[in-house]
């Protein structure tokens, strides 16, 4: 990447009129994994009630509120592992569901309020990789994410 940028700067000169754009750079980048190289395996739809502990303010004590986290979870895998991932998911469905519940219920209110659920997604990815096989799972995808207060 640095070599490509240095070559672009050297070709254009330091004070030249040629402008190197991000688009020019992206056309030179080689992507290792095309989008067609990923298969998605459903790990289930979830509606998880969570007791969220809210911290105390200056005048009030802390309190517990209930919220529900809804999403559908998918494992992203190379196409050649799709069948084996489906078999492992079917065989260990209860373990996967239990692990997802533990991760979600141990998540803080701040993490649940993150629109991207980045820390939840990262922890779910780690758990799914350990259950299904790290070499089989590239990542996890959450779709239809909703949080609501109960």
pLDDT tens track for 91-150: 999 999 999 999 999 988 888 888 889 999 999 999 999 999 999 999 999 999 998 888
Q: Which residues contact 14 (CB under 8 A, 6 or more apart)?
A: none
Q: How far is CA 63 from CA 24, 53, 56, 102, in A?
A: 53, 6, 7, 21
pLDDT tens track for 19-45: 656 665 555 554 444 556 899 999 999
Which residue's entry shows tokens 């779709």?
143
Domains and CATH numbers, the chain: 1-30 (no CATH), 36-149 (3.30.479)
Nearest to 130 by CA among 75, 78, 79, 83: 75
Q: How far apart are CA 134 and CA 125, in angstroms?
A: 9
């Amino acid at each position: 990447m640095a070599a490509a940028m240095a070559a672009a700067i050297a070709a254009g000169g330091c004070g030249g009129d040629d402008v190197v754009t991000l688009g020019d750079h992206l056309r030179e980048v080689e992507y290792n994994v095309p989008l067609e190289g990923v298969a998605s395996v459903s790990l289930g739809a979830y509606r998880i009630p969570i007791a969220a502990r809210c911290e105390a303010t200056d005048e009030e004590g802390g309190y517990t509120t209930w919220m529900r986290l809804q999403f559908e979870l998918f494992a992203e895998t190379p196409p050649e592992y799709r069948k084996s991932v489906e078999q492992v998911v079917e065989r260990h469905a209860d373990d996967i569901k239990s692990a997802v519940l533990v991760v979600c219920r141990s998540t803080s209110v701040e993490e649940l309020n993150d629109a991207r659920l980045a820390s939840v997604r990262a922890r779910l990815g780690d758990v799914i990789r350990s259950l299904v096989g790290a070499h089989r799972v590239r990542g996890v995808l959450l779709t239809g994410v909703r949080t609501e207060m109960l």
